[in-house]
Amino acid sequence: GMAKETIRSRPFDIVVYGATGFTGEKVVKYIVEQHPEIKLAISGRNEEKLQKIASLVNLAPSCILVASLDDDPGQVEDALRKAKIVLACAGPFRHVGRELVRAAIAAGTDYLDICGEPQFFDDMLTEFEAAARAASVLVVSACAFDCVPAELSVTFVSRELQRQYPGSPVTCVELVHQFFGVSRFNATTFHAAVDGFHASMNGELSQSRKRVKDTFSVSKPPPAPDNWPNIMIESPTTFFPVYHEWTKTYLLKFMGADGAAIRNSQRYLRMRSPIHSNNSDDNSPEQPQPKLSVCLGVPTKVGAYTILGFGALFSFLAKYSWGCRLLHRYPSLFTAGYFTNEGPTDEQLEQGSFETRSVAYGWTKEQCVRATCRGPELGYVATPKILTALALVVLKHRDKLPFSGGVMLPGALFGRSAETYDLLQQEGILFEIVQQK
């Protein structure tokens, strides 16, 4: 139709918004170096900084689209109209994301971001789902670490379980993240975590959840039947690390957005595909929801207790506005130097890697499938790779995806797309089944 023709004739494939930030710059460099075939533009509000990055990676001046969300949203919309996809790398999203999503929908430009804030997922869904569907625009948050390895591990291992044990439901999924050789993070992530945690403590997050429920008729997952197996999975409590045989690590409850993201995708699929249109063999929404455990695996007990100590201090302070101010002011102090304003050096990044292990169980503890997702340093090296791979799926295989518009997370959009796993693998993010029957 008419709309698709104009998309095809857009001068750019991808525009990176927030290209001058720590992550944005890494995404730009990665695409220019690894995918010279992609027609790339960069956008943001600071022309001088954008020019600096453009000359750094040899982008022509015509690839710079100066646009400020604060001054003139119309300007941003015009910039986005020149590209097929916008990659939103400017956080914190609770402040800039909403206007960018609005502009993307108005411009008919697919939107992928690296936001890991559950409240933002819910608010965008409530506000923009109808508009995004009507405009056939994909709005996908959390296209980065840690949600993508987690969400896609769940779909990957669940599908394999059902291939090996036809007819069996997925009753439980365990995820364990392990990070190796990581010594520092950029403080932006920390600031977002402080705000997000504060929102969940003071009830903002549950208000956002409630708005979703009030806006959409989402069926609850059916309750587990009486004969549903009660498989004990490793789910450490908040205060005691649990030793884990398969990874040889001490498990802590993982504090990232993964659990929220996985549940969000399951809820979205229930909303979009009413029960009658599903084949029940395919872990469809009329299955009871699997039990879920998302953990962090730490090599030593001392390490586990250290993290717990910092976590306890953090959660105490993040409850209060004064505590938030303190945390925002001294990120390095409250994280033993893990989060710094400078962020990690390139050498530090090259030594890092991550591995996410997953186990899916069927009717019994013996009916299980294990998988791994492995990749480079989780934040700054893996994120450009993951974001680029997902953007390539949308560029090349959009017609094979289950939805052509809407506000969702990666699990719902990409979880069953074989092309996604192939393209992630080409960028160095590998999903593998580790044990056959």
- Flag whether pLDDT at 96 surpasses 90: no
Does residue 427 lie within any of the structural domains?
no
Question: In degrees to the nearest 10, what's the CA dihedral of 198, 199, 200, 203?
Answer: 120
% of the chain beyond a pLDDT of 70: 87
Average confidence (pLDDT) over 229-258: 80
- Domain end (from 121, 140, 159): 140
- 306 and 204 inside one domain: yes
How high is the pLDDT of residue 6? 54
**Confidence check: pLDDT of 398 > 70:** yes
By residue count, the chain amounts to 437
Q: What whole-number distance in Å separates Cα of residue 60 and Cα of residue 35? A: 16
Whether 361 shows a pLDDT value over 80: the answer reads: yes
Query: Is 416 inside a domain boundary?
Result: no
Three-state DSSP at 373 gives strand
Higher-confidence position of 72 and 236: 72
- Per the domain annotation, does 394 fall within a domain? no
Structure tokens at 65: 């689209």
Residue 37 in domain? yes
Clarify whether residues 193 and 244 are in a common domain: yes
Q: Which domain holds residue 195?
A: 147-378
Last residue of a domain, one of 140, 157, 184: 140
Considering the domain architecture, whether residues 41 and 110 belong to the same structural domain is answered as yes
The answer to whether position 431 is within a domain reads no
Poorest-pLDDT segment among 279-283, 379-383, 411-415: 279-283
The backbone torsions φ and ψ at residue 365, rounded to the nearest 5 degrees and listed phi first, read -65, -30
CATH number at residue 62: 3.40.50.720
Do both 362 and 344 map to the same domain? Answer: yes
**Same-domain check for residues 62 and 42:** yes
Least confident of 180-189, 219-228, 392-401: 180-189
Task: Examine residue 265 and state whether it is found in any structural domain, yes or no.
Answer: yes
* DSSP assignment string, 242-274: EEETTTTEEEEE--SSHHHHHHHHHHHHHHHS-
Query: Amino acid identity, residue 371?
Result: A
Reply yes or no on whether the pLDDT at 31 is more than 90: yes
Same domain for 39 and 102, yes or no, is yes
Residues 175 and 50 occupy one common structural domain: no
Residue 236, pLDDT > 70, answer no
pLDDT in tens, 298-312: 888 877 777 777 777
Is this model's pTM higher than 0.75 or not?
yes
Closest listed residue to residue 263, CA positions, set 294, 228, 225, 297: 294
| Rounded mean pLDDT, 336-352 | 72
Tokens at 122, concatenated = 């819910």
413 within some domain:
no
Q: Where does a domain end: 140, 159, 182?
A: 140
* HSE-CB for 314 with a 13 A CA cutoff: 24
User: Does one domain contain both 64 and 190?
Assistant: no
For residue 339, being part of any structural domain is answered with: yes
Number of structural domains in the chain: 2
How large is the average pLDDT for residues 246-274? 85
What is the rounded average pLDDT of the residues 69-82? Answer: 90
Residue 217 identity: S
Flag whether pLDDT at 132 surpasses 80: yes
Look at residue 416 and tell me whether its pLDDT is greater than 70.
yes
Q: Are residues 247 and 105 in the same domain?
A: no
**pLDDT computed for residue 437 by the predictor:** 47
Torsion sign across C-alpha atoms 143, 148, 152, 154: negative
Band of residue 11 on the pLDDT scale cut at 50, 70, 90: very high
Tens of pLDDT, residue by residue over 146-193, are: 799 999 999 999 999 999 999 889 999 999 998 887 655 655 666 666
Q: Are residues 332 and 293 in the same domain?
A: yes
Answer with the residue of higher pLDDT: 343 or 161: 161
H or E stretch at 2: helix 2-8
Residues 346 and 221 reside in one and the same domain:
yes
393-412 mean pLDDT: 97
Show the tokens assigned to 430: 């590998």
pLDDT confidence tier of residue 278, bands split at 50, 70 and 90: very low
**Model confidence over 371-392: pLDDT tens digits?**
999 999 877 789 999 999 999 9
Residue 204 shares a structural domain with residue 248 = yes
